[in-house]
Amino acid sequence: MFFKKCLIFFISFGLYASSVVTLSPAQEGRKIWGISRAPSGASPLGYNMVNLMTREKVEAIFIKYLRTDTDMSQKKRIQLAKELSKKLMVLAGKHRFSPAFILSIIQAESTFHMDARSKVGAIGLMQLMPATAGYISKKWKIRRYQGAASLYDPVLNMEMGVTYLAYLRDRYNDDARTFLTAYNAGPTLVDRFLKAERELDQIRESRKYIESISAKVAGFCGDLSPSMVGPMESC
């Protein structure tokens, strides 16, 4: 009888232990921020387990928020929103980002202002520097880029911005906090901090930037509490 009880105890303990999973920092980042690689053999949109962010919803968001320095007719706005939403869904599938995550980056960077230009010269929806855009265009052979003025094309700007995000994600081994800091503050600064073994949270602006991305994802996902919003799982 004693032997039988011990056997039951060890089996139960083994089942419990096997159910406890320790996540790596990269996995934890993916859980929090909704960034993931599609499993082998997955469909192009297999990056999202439960995708509530349809192309129609993305289109409606662009229609609502898209801004420009010049007057835009409603017909033109709808046409451009259709083009942007279609391209965003393709980019999300290709680079394995959630649509809500990409929209959140756009809102944080430019508040959907396609003619935005920062004091340091970053341009367009995803606030790309011309030098960064030049590097992206050469590395990924994006021939439509013909200099800084090309970045005012919102579709091209978004394509280059998401491509750059994916590059940073891979460069920093899927660690969301690190590659988002690199997108916000630049990889040179991030590399300097990592080499000196300093915490990236010390970059105050980037810490607030990452927090804002999380809140924006929650907003785009709809009426979900922040704790429910791993966009890869729920949006």
Residue 4's pLDDT is what? Answer: 52
Asked if residue 223 is part of any domain, the answer here is yes
Asked if residue 4 is part of any domain, the answer here is no
pTM (two decimals): 0.77
Residue 234's pLDDT is what? Answer: 41
Asked if residue 164 is part of any domain, the answer here is yes
- Mean pLDDT for each consecutive 10-residue tract of the chain (235 residues)? 49 41 44 41 31 84 94 94 97 89 94 96 97 96 95 98 95 90 96 94 91 84 42 42
Asked if residue 101 is part of any domain, the answer here is yes
Strand partners for 117: 123
Alpha-carbon gap, residue 105 to 226, rounded angstroms? 17
Asked if residue 17 is part of any domain, the answer here is no
Inter-CA distances, 208 with 9, 120, 201, Å: 48, 19, 9
Alpha-carbon gap, residue 122 to 163, rounded angstroms? 16
**Candidates 56, 83, 109, 197; catalytic one:** 109
The parent domain of residue 138 ranges over 25-234
Alpha-carbon gap, residue 95 to 72, rounded angstroms? 31
Asked if residue 11 is part of any domain, the answer here is no
- Virtual torsion, Cα 202, 206, 207, 212, nearest 10 deg: 170
Q: Please, what sign has the CA dihedral across residues 160, 164, 165, 169?
A: positive
Strand partners for 67: 113
109 noted as active-site residue? yes
Asked if residue 56 is part of any domain, the answer here is yes
Alpha-carbon gap, residue 192 to 181, rounded angstroms? 12
How does 178-217 read in b/e, with b if 16+ C-beta sit within 10 Å?
bbbbbbbbebeebeebeeeeeebeebeebbebbeebbebb
Instruction: Report the number of distinct structural domains present in the chain.
Output: 1
Residue 123's pLDDT is what? Answer: 98
Asked if residue 20 is part of any domain, the answer here is no
- Unique residue bearing structure tokens 């091209």: 156
Domain harbouring 106, CATH code: 1.10.530.10
